[in-house]
Chains A and B, each alone.
Chain A
């Protein structure tokens, strides 16, 4: 039914036949539109130059013209030097030897520069300490977007002249003491300079502060040998190594011991070193040990005391659990047997413990430890730092100059330090960043990166390194030493000062030779020690008292061990995306620090780690309480092999100032580092919330699959035929067992690879310690992008080379295999395979660097629809980016899962705001390697740009190539010699010998892919006698 409602707009409408309504109903607009006025006036219309039609014409033309013009290729400029420096040839790399010394990492390096800009760090094989992952990544810290570019005075940018003038004036009129608070420079010339500075201004105190303290070891060494230093060790000579809580493959005592250690780990003439590790936290050293015993932190002390007793033969009673005691007795027996080849190291932050370790080594007559030429890389004095902060609060300090350290972030009592700073009249900070300490300072001197600086480093009292600039300073910076020279009215530059200091003290070589090599031997031209008590106390060390003290150590409740992670160390390079994305070798988690806890403790506290539906890892949060310090919302990572009763947390994370937002990850553990003691008592309570980890490997066990990793014991290796411990898989061909390498059972036709070069790589699982230097070197060499935490969580990391870490689910891998082989029936396998997915409480560990295996019969090549990946004659599996259309079939078909897909554009993309997104960060890119775009697959290329260069150099010089010339980024970064690369068609080469070695095997041999990457079976020295 239709309604007869009437809608009306005005009352007028209700009237019948209203004239107004009538007229308006015919009109669209109420008002008169002046069309006639415009169109009717012919004159105006004609005089108007632009008609509507013209307007459209112009719009159309300009649009078309603009789009046509856009079809033009871009005009590229080429700008040569006005005056070309003599040594720079565009396109040819120059190498310079220099030394990294940031107070935590000290290493001799070679720097590769292109057109005057450093792009890569290489090992300096003449140096004493090898380059770890952080040293390799340090080149990116040079191009850090957050660096200070100019000196600041009270937050304002000033010129250096003004800066010098103002500070000098204030220094001259200072009321109170002048304090220099510095990192360990280990630099004789800097020490000399500081003493000159002291003479000029008088009343100067120099306090050396190590962010991560080695105070106990320094005190112990000083007490015994009268010098504030650390013993140096040559682990290559070691036959038996017993470590109690010392991660000597990590950052213990300045680090850099892993290369020598690895030399002793490769079985030679049936012999290799034996390594027993007693520890609480799961460290790299523990992962590489032949025998690892877990114990609590207080038990570590007792264990050391007991070991001392067993070694020196004195009466010994230990209250330790039987299995630990047993391990100690056996270790002591082996130590005694090895004599000069034995060494005991400890990381217990206790003077008694450190002194006891020294006396054990002396008692053993250890030739591994060297006290005559000790290490000078740690000189910090914890007591002096504490005293300084107290003095600052008391207002006794008139001026403080802080160089190379960030106490406002890294001091456990940072709050007190900040209060103390308020009492100081003149606060000057020498810093590369506007960090926490710089923000507290009146004056901030922008300092250069070590690649822009001069310097010298005293590695040991005999071995030195030189630091030289490899690039013109990027910013208006001035290094600490140069500023001090100016403030002491010395008109020479630090470079000249350095040269003068060393005149005559360099031993045989000349200055130029030393600069060329980066290292030299000599004697320090300036021996007065800094920060040390000049009247070296020859405190008589009471061994018995020490043993008594250590044995009495009691542990109640949970203990916390603070450690430094492989990726960030003490946190100096927290703003380095390569390091943030480097997975921890043990946990395989990146972009985080977390509380490592044993499974038993986690269950007790109701803490969880769970795998969520997309395969990522989530974990609970806890609040930590150490003394008065509370750390909230610390994520928990359940770590197999963590000692029950001990939790551990990495230092160096959680930095906020001078760090890009993406990299402000983790929690700052320094407030818990009380009394500079890494061992603390802790109270844990569960906190609300779930933490999202970016962990790259959740399947942790090998499930007894010895076709991925083969390992055996030294005993079997020495006595049995290689078929027993390194057997070739066989398949049945016409009911005859045939080895898989036989051409009869191969799907593919083989090619003749005997002509020309044929590249192969050998990875020795015995020598690989899992340090991650190769991963970073690969990043730098091949322009591998950083993808960020969110993407890593989705397993979209771009690492061309990863280091897989496997745990055993039984106590040893051997038992895993046994268990697997003894399974029978479906029921067994269903239940037992489930068990085998869970790692043991104290598992064996093995590291396997995994990269493209460059299969001669590559599964990826056969499935590519556009032939974007194919095989080269030299053995490389080639990946051609510009041909790839991104089907990802190849990645699906790769049994080793080493292909990486560019899900996004990772350069010049604000969503991925890492080094490739700014002009400064892009300076690190290798100009010889394509920067990949979105939607293409990429993977290890066997560094073809490097092999091609080696070949070209030889061609140009008209000579044959010698063994050792062919290198990849990873093989040259591996100072342990675990990765060897070369031309297998050169019969005399090392790689040819390795390819015939008894230990050689291929990963997943039975798949029949015929990889060009070989692995050398891991051998463990399990002998207990």
Chain B
């Protein structure tokens, strides 16, 4: 019975490892190839485009104020109600200096209500135009501060310059360059191999010539009576062994194929609204649980309700030029925001809710089967696990996809390897003390806590 141990003969193990090696190689190559290059070029693109407007700003004429300081002030004090282009709660401010004189603007900013009360014609007009929403007074701003802000808002809009085309071209070039270099490398390799073959052939030829010349008898290969395949077929033992190996290898791969049935790793459906986690979680660094707030307390992380979106998008109706990528234009993104407005019933021109709502039917990506219980708050809040551990680099995902296989093996593995965050949690005090003594360890894994018992997730 001890023989059982050696059921896998050495030969088969070798065969398996070889085949495995090749199969993985193939996979790895397949995965690496498409992913790497576009991402890196994206990065390059973004940097370029970010730089673009800044440079142009420097070139723009300044009007007696520090634009950079003004921008900062504008973003902290004004941006909640004003946009440079387009009305929000208050009017668009770009080029406001052309419309009103600086003195008027100063008194308005310092105390708009006083100005309205004084009966100033323009002030009353603008007050009425914007639904009589009073602008808070800013007595803390010095005159120079206001000048700075005005300098910033009076700066003409940075024209999307030809430079962009240039960057795109250079991006292309860079990409092309990358392609060429690998081609060249491959070409060189092929050439070297070819040369080697030629050299070998030549050396062989020369040696034979030497042999003939020096009268050495060359061993002449005897022609086989039978072709090799025929003798193989006649050797029953070999045939059986080969058949067995083929069956085993076949079933190994068949098993592997069947195990991926129902595993939707990489599932990336097209959503009704193109929501870019890259922009929100990546560029703007919004914390995951800012929107997915129920992950803290609930078993579900919760898809944010539309009123959560509107907390910000009430004033963000369009993306910055810099946000647009090669693949997705600014118009595209703005259109997606418009879809949100349609769903939530927000009339941009009136800046008011119409009350006509249409819930968004997102397509669910992460689906656990009904018989598995998973609780986000247990992992996120108690365990302190980063969202990315399971969901992958969400902050880089333009389109959300399923990063982990979400199989039981994947869960259990993590439970075996991860330590429970017991420090500072009174609940764990007693059990940690007793269990760590029992197992003789400092840190306890989830499994040691009983986290791989079936009914912890299946009930």
| Interfacial residues, chain A to chain B (CB-CB below 8 A) | 73, 75-84, 89-92, 752, 754-756, 870, 872-874, 876, 878-883, 928-931, 941, 944-945, 948, 951-952, 954-956, 958-961
Residue from A73, A80, A756, A958 within 8 A of B424 (CB atoms)? A958
Q: Are B357 and A80 in contact (CB under 8 A)?
A: no
Cβ of B427 within 8 Å of any chain A Cβ, yes or no, is yes
> Contacts of B249 on A, CB cut-off 8 Å?
none
Q: Which residues of A contact B359 (CB under 8 A)?
A: 79-82
Given contacts A80-B360, A958-B426, A960-B429, contact A881 B458 (CB under 8 A): yes
Interface hits, B410-453 → A, CB 8 Å = 424-431, 434-435, 438, 449-450, 453
Question: Which parts of B234-284 form the interface with A (CB within 8 Å)?
Answer: 262, 264, 269
Binding site for A on B (CB under 8 A): 262, 264, 269, 294, 297-300, 302-308, 343-345, 357, 359-364, 367, 369-371, 373, 375, 377-378, 381-382, 424-431, 434-435, 438, 449-450, 453-456, 458-459
How many Å from the CB of B260 to the closest CB on chain A? 12
Q: Are A80 and B303 in contact (CB under 8 A)?
A: yes
How many Å from the CB of B75 to the closest CB on chain A?
28
Whether the Cβ atoms of A945 and B297 lie closer than 8 Å is no
Cβ contacts under 8 Å, B343 to chain A = 82
Contacting A880 at CB < 8 Å: which of B269, B305, B435, B458? B458
Set of chain A residues within 8 Å of B377, measured between Cβ atoms = 952, 956
A90 and B302 within 8 A (CB):
yes
Contacts of A945 in B (CB 8 A): 373, 459
Instruction: Give the residue of A73, A82, A91, A930 whose beta carbon is less than 8 angstroms from that of B371.
Output: A930
* Chain B contacts for A873, CB-based, 8 A: 450, 453
Q: Which residues does chain A contribute within 8 Å of B307, judged by CB atoms? A: 81-84
Instruction: Name A's interface SS.
Output: loop
Q: How far is the CB of A172 from chain B (nearest CB, A)?
A: 37
A878 touches B361 (CB 8 A): no
Residues of B within 8 A of A880 (CB): 454-455, 458
Can you show 14 pairs from A to B with CB atoms below 8 A apart? A78-B303, A79-B359, A83-B307, A83-B357, A755-B438, A756-B449, A872-B454, A878-B459, A880-B455, A882-B458, A928-B373, A944-B459, A948-B456, A955-B382
Please name all residues of chain A whose beta carbon is closer than 8 Å to the beta carbon of B430 when the two chains form the complex. 960
Q: If A79-B362, A955-B382 touch, does A930 touch B450 (CB 8 Å cutoff)?
A: no
The answer on a CB contact under 8 Å between A872 and B453 is yes
Q: Is the pair B308, A84 in contact by a Cβ cutoff of 8 Å?
A: yes
Given the complex, which residues of A lie within 8 Å of B294, measured CB to CB?
A: 89-92
A78 adjacent to B364 (CB under 8 Å)? yes
Alpha-carbon distance A89/B459, docked complex (angstroms): 22
Residues in chain B near residue A961, CB distance under 8 A = 427
Bound-state Cα–Cα, A80 to B431, Å: 39
Q: Which residues of B contact A754 (CB under 8 A)?
A: 434
In the assembled complex, how far is the CB of residue B265 from the closest CB belonging to chain A, in whole angstroms? 12
Partner among B298, B361, B434 whose Cβ is within 8 Å of the Cβ of A79: B361
A954 and chain B: residue at smallest CB distance = B427
CB <8 Å contact, A878 and B300: no
| Contact in complex: B362, A955 (CB < 8 Å) | no
Q: Which of A90, A755, A944 contacts B435 (CB 8 A)?
A: A755
How far does the Cβ of B380 sit from chain A's closest Cβ, in whole Å?
Answer: 10
Given the complex of chains A and B, what is the CA–CA distance between A941 and B456 in angstroms?
11
B426 contact set on A, CB distance < 8 A = 958-960
Name the A residues within 8 Å of B449 (CB-CB): 756
Least Cβ–Cβ distance between A92 and chain B, in angstroms: 5
With contacts A91-B300, A941-B455 known, is A83 near B306, CB below 8 A?
yes
Question: Are the CB atoms of B455 and A872 closer together than 8 Å?
Answer: yes
Contact assessment for B306 and A80 in the assembled complex, using a CB-CB cutoff below 8 Å: yes
Chain B positions within 8 Å of A956 at CB level: 297, 377, 381-382
Contact A952 B375 (CB under 8 A): yes
Instruction: Enumerate chain A residues within 8 angstroms of B303, measured Cβ to Cβ.
Output: 78, 80
Q: Choose among B264, B297, B434, B456 the residue that contacts A92 (Cβ–Cβ < 8 A).
A: B297
Task: Tell me the complex Cα distance, A929–B372, Å.
Answer: 9
Nearest CB in chain A to that of B453: its residue: A872
Give chain A residues whose Cβ lies under 8 Å from the Cβ of B304. 80
Residue of A76, A77, A79, A876 near B455 (CB, 8 A) is A876
Bound CA span A944–B455, Å: 8
Please give the distance in Å from A752's CB to the nearest CB on chain B: 8
Least CB distance, B30 to chain A, in whole angstroms: 22
Question: Which B residues are CB-close (under 8 A) to A755?
Answer: 431, 434-435, 438
A90 to B364, CA, bound (A): 15
Query: What's the nearest-Cβ distance from chain A to residue B201, in Å?
Result: 51
The one of B362, B373, B381 that contacts A77, using a Cβ cutoff of 8 Å: B362
Q: Known pairs A90-B302, A874-B450; list 10 more (Cβ under 8 Å).
A: A81-B306, A82-B344, A83-B306, A89-B302, A878-B455, A881-B371, A928-B299, A928-B373, A952-B382, A958-B424
Least Cβ distance of B35 to chain A in Å? 24
Q: How far is the CA of A752 from the CA of B382 in the complex (A)?
A: 27
Q: How far is the CA of A874 from the CA of B373 in the complex (A)?
A: 18
A77, A83, A92, A874: which contacts B364 (Cβ < 8 A)? A77
Nearest-neighbour CB distance to chain A for B305, whole angstroms, equals: 4
Residue in contact with B360 in the complex, picked from A79, A752, A948, CB distance below 8 Å: A79
Q: With A and B bound together, what is the CA distance between A616 and B262 in angstroms?
A: 45
A76 CB to closest chain B CB, in angstroms?
4
Given A80-B306, A83-B306: A91 and B298 within 8 A (CB)? yes
Q: Which residues of B sit under 8 angstroms from A89, Cβ to Cβ?
A: 294, 297-298, 302
9 closest Cβ pairs, A-B complex: A91-B298, A878-B455, A84-B305, A81-B305, A78-B364, A76-B364, A91-B300, A80-B303, A91-B299
On chain B, the residues within 8 Å of A876 by CB distance are 455
Residues from chain B with a CB closer than 8 A to the CB of A752 are: 438
**In the complex, how many angstroms separate the beta carbon of A934 from the nearest chain B beta carbon?**
14
Residue of A90, A930, A948 touching B300 (CB-CB under 8 A): A90
B308: chain A residues at CB < 8 Å are 84
Given A77-B364, A756-B431, A941-B459, A82 contacting B305 (CB threshold 8 A) = yes
A952: chain B residues at CB < 8 Å are 375, 377-378, 382
CB distance from B266 to the nearest CB of A (A): 13
Q: How far is the CA of A904 from the CA of B377 in the complex (A)?
A: 36
- Beta-carbon nearest neighbor of A754 in chain B: B434
Name the residue of chain A whose CB is nearest to the CB of B261.
Answer: A71
- Provide the residues of chain B in CB contact with A870, threshold 8 Å: 454
- List the B side residues contacting A954 at CB < 8 Å: 427
B459 interface neighbour in A76, A930, A960, Cβ under 8 Å: A930
Given contacts A75-B269, A955-B378, A956-B381, contact A82 B306 (CB under 8 A): yes
Return the chain B residue nearest A958 by Cβ: B425
Report how far A487 CA is from B377 CA in the complex, Å: 51
How far is B297's CA from A92's CA once the two chains are assembled, in angstroms?
A: 8
Task: Tell whether A78 pairs with B362 under 8 Å between CB atoms, given A90-B300, A872-B455, A944-B455.
Answer: yes
Please give, as numbers and ranges, the residues of chain B lying within 8 Å of A83 by CB-CB distance: 305-307, 357
* Set of chain B residues within 8 Å of A92, measured between Cβ atoms: 294, 297-298
Q: Which residues of A contact B305 (CB under 8 A)?
A: 80-84
B453 CB, min distance to chain A CBs, angstroms = 5
Docked-complex contact B363 and A73, CB < 8 angstroms: no
Chain B residues with Cβ below 8 Å from A82 are 305-307, 343-345, 357, 359
**Distance of A956 Cα from B369 Cα, bound (Å):** 25
CB of A882 within 8 A of CB of B371, answer yes
Q: Is A76 in contact with B298, judged by CB distance below 8 angstroms?
A: no
The 8 Å CB contact of A75, one of B363, B381, B382, B459, is: B363
Cα A78 to Cα B304 with chains together (Å): 11
Which partner residue on chain A sits nearest B420 by CB separation? A955
In the complex the two chains form, what is the Cα distance from A870 to B303 in whole Å? Answer: 36
Q: Give the CA-CA distance A816 to B421 in the complex, in Å.
A: 58
Known: A80-B302, A82-B357, A878-B453. A73 touches B262 (CB 8 A): yes
Residues in B with CB closer than 8 Å to A944 are 455, 459
Distance between Cα atoms of A78 and B271 in the complex (Å):
11
- How far does the Cβ of B359 sit from chain A's closest Cβ, in whole Å? 5
Residue among B298, B307, B428, B454 with the highest chain A CB neighbour number at 10 A? B454
